[in-house]
């Protein structure tokens, strides 16, 4: 039997890995990127170090290209080199007639065209609408706005380690992933 391809783990940035704001919170920011005070989600560095040992890492954000590059250069340890760093330019724009607004979708067909097997791809995001075409690949995290007592990345790391040897990640029910870190993972 051949070993499984290493999973591609695509990470969102804003409200997933960090919180960036025009006006600082009541504490000193971890760094500044352009006009933004940036706060790193608790356990971010440990999370990145641990998942990079088991997964290929990529970044895909709906933010501007220069912001995304600056964030990755600021928060990623130098020895973690993402497979790709994509911004809103790689997203598909959709119009929501009910809300009368445009929004971005991260369509994993673009990842598949680069040769990645979607059965071995996960995308972590805080906004389900952004990955609405690929719910089978998505792990939704709670949006983060600066709460220092947050432990979402620790829980996510534990969950990812539980599923990293599964053959088809799209068949795993991920909606209740937090409780699965305690009770094990089941496939559909």
Question: HSE on the CB side for 31, CA within 13 Å?
Answer: 12
Going edge to edge, which strands form the sheet with 31-33? 18-21, 36-40, 31-33
Domain boundaries, the chain: 8-183
pLDDT tens sequence for the chain (188 residues):
345 589 999 999 999 999 999 999 999 999 999 999 999 999 999 999 999 999 999 999 999 999 999 999 999 999 999 999 999 999 999 888 888 889 899 999 999 999 999 999 999 999 999 998 898 999 999 999 999 999 999 999 999 999 999 999 999 999 889 886 655 555 55
**CATH, domain range 8-183:** 3.40.50.1000
pTM over 0.95: no
Name the maximum alpha-carbon separation found in the chain: 55
Task: From residue 182, give the alpha-carbon distance in Å to each of 46, 158, 176.
Answer: 20, 9, 11
């Amino acid at each position: 039997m051949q070993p499984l391809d290493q999973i591609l783990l695509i990470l969102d940035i804003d409200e997933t890995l960090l919180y960036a704001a025009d006006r600082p919170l009541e504490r000193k920011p971890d760094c500044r990127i352009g006009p933004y005070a940036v706060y790193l989600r608790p356990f971010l560095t440990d999370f990145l170090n641990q998942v990079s040992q088991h997964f290929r890492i990529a970044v895909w954000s709906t933010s501007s290209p220069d912001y995304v590059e600056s964030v990755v250069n600021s928060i990623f340890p130098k020895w973690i080199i993402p497979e790709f760093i994509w911004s809103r330019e790689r997203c598909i724009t959709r119009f929501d007639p009910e809300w009368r607004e445009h929004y971005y979708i991260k369509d994993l067909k673009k990842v598949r065209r680069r040769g990645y097997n979607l059965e071995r791809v996960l995308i972590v995001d805080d906004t389900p609408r952004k990955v609405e075409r690929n719910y089978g690949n998505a792990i939704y995290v709670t949006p983060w706005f600066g709460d220092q007592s947050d432990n979402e990345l620790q829980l996510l790391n534990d969950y990812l380690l539980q599923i990293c040897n599964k053959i088809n990640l799209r068949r795993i029910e991920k909606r209740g992933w937090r409780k699965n870190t305690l009770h094990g993972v089941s496939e559909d």
